[in-house]
Structure 1
Amino acid sequence: MSKIVVVYHSGYGHTKRIAETVAESAGAQLIAIDAEGNVGEADWAALADADTIVFGSPTYMGTVSWQFKKFADASSKVWFTQGWKDKLAAGFTNSASMNGDKLSTLHYLFTLSQQHSMLWAGMGVMPSNKKSSTRHDVNFVASFAGLMTTSPSDASPDEMMDGDFATAKVFGERIKAVTARLTR
């Protein structure tokens, strides 16, 4: 059986809900980066043992949170030995604005994966970009590079849009399928 890990940081709970949805649909283990930017030794072991690592962070000021960046910097020990080489990687982000420079965050996650010599999987889903499309549709934010979701700044994690959860579910299913294909 394939081993998929979703490692993420969430500042206010929105990114956590998306991480949980991706992990559930992918059959993945969840690893939360704590408020100080750390994960435990068992978490590093799970990442080492994974076939696929999905990175998640909110978009703050046009990039990942400082807590995620601290985790990424700590992964340089793994980078030095190319311990994640040829694992599948993917990424997701959430921010308050429809764009909110989320693509910069996905590019950061992609670059991190490439530093580790990983393989990248994007959304694999066409956007909902017709006049009849609404925020309740899959991939309304129209991302190809990875999963993007939007939570208005005055919305609690319980008020997130159904379309974002549906998109996260589709993304998790894609990650599961691509992982299975690569690990046969």
Structure 2
Amino acid sequence: MSAVKLAIVYYSATGTLDAMARHAAEAGEKAGAEVRVRRVTRQASQGDRRATDSQAAQAEAETAPATPDDIVWADAVVFGSPTRYGNIAGQLKTFIDSLGPQWGQGLLADKVYAGFTASQTLHGGQESTLLALYNTIHHFGGIVVAPGYTDPTKFVDGNPYGASHVTGPDNDAELGEADIAALHHLATRVVTVAERLAG
């Protein structure tokens, strides 16, 4: 059986989602998947600050832009977005909205999907952001594979809908052990379930 093809498609305004995507990719590869990491092209807005951290800026420059083909190629897709008023960022939504032709051909159905997010505050809309993302997945005919409470790490990070991180008011809180463990569990679970579906 060929390896599961996992696409990690995300938008990052400050570098946090870049780091989260890298950890998810690492876990996906460790689980045996062929992984594509793709960023959604930045569309400048007044409130959108570029990453000033050189590592985050380098990650952004080195990550290929997402295309509809990345979603069609994949057996499983993990989307990442910062929270925007309890919803996904407009940049990621614009990319998802561009998938109409692929959706119309049924090319987005029967794939495994999940998500990760970050916000400045603990109750900054992380769960509603992931749930809003999953509304789209239902329209795709996709299979949402949220982590639930299927691993002890979920009782630490407390988010059964996906993986999430609190950045703090200055967007400078680095990912902690619990954040990384949640991302690893999420990606591993997505790959495992996709393998079972393929089998």
Q: Does the alignment reach a TM-score above 0.5?
A: yes
Q: Distance in 2 between matches of 1:74 and 1:139?
A: 36
> Is 1:182 matched with 2:190?
no
Moved over 6 A (4+): none
Q: Distance in 2 between matches of 1:53 and 1:23?
A: 11
Shift of the 17–141 alpha-carbon distance from structure 1 to 2, 3 Å rule, reads: same
Partner of 2:5 in structure 1?
3
Partner of 1:153 in structure 2?
169
Q: Distance in 2 between matches of 1:165 and 1:47?
A: 24
Task: Using the TM superposition, give the Cα deviation of residue 43 of structure 1 relative to its aligned residue in structure 2, in angstroms.
Answer: 3.1
> Is 1:23 matched with 2:47?
no
> Is 1:164 matched with 2:179?
yes
Contact 1:151–1:161 (8 Å) recurs in 2: no
Q: What amino acid is the match of 2:8? A: V
Task: Using the TM superposition, give the Cα deviation of residue 139 of structure 1 relative to its aligned residue in structure 2, in angstroms.
Answer: 5.0
TM-score scaled by structure 2? 0.79
Shift of the 12–161 alpha-carbon distance from structure 1 to 2, 3 Å rule, reads: same
- What residue ranges of structure 1 are gaps of 5+ in the alignment? 129-136
Task: Using the TM superposition, give the Cα deviation of residue 155 of structure 1 relative to its aligned residue in structure 2, in angstroms.
Answer: 4.5
> Is 1:34 matched with 2:41?
yes
> Is 1:108 matched with 2:132?
yes
**How big is each residue's C-alpha offset from its partner over 1:141-166, in whole Å with a ceiling of 9 and x where there is no partner?**
31112222222122426x23221112
Partner of 2:97 in structure 1?
73
- What residue ranges of structure 2 are gaps of 5+ in the alignment? 30-34, 45-63
- Residue identity (%): 26
**Alignment match of 1:44 (pick from 40, 43, 68):** 68
Shift of the 146–138 alpha-carbon distance from structure 1 to 2, 3 Å rule, reads: closer
Aligned residue-pair number: 173
TM-align CA RMSD = 2.1
Task: Using the TM superposition, give the Cα deviation of residue 138 of structure 1 relative to its aligned residue in structure 2, in angstroms.
Answer: 5.1
Task: Using the TM superposition, give the Cα deviation of residue 127 of structure 1 relative to its aligned residue in structure 2, in angstroms.
Answer: 7.8
Q: What secondary structure does 2:117 align onto?
A: strand
**How big is each residue's C-alpha offset from its partner over 1:90-116, in whole Å with a ceiling of 9 and x where there is no partner?**
111111111211111111111111111
Q: Distance in 2 between matches of 1:126 and 1:87?
A: 20
Q: Distance in 2 between matches of 1:155 and 1:53?
A: 26
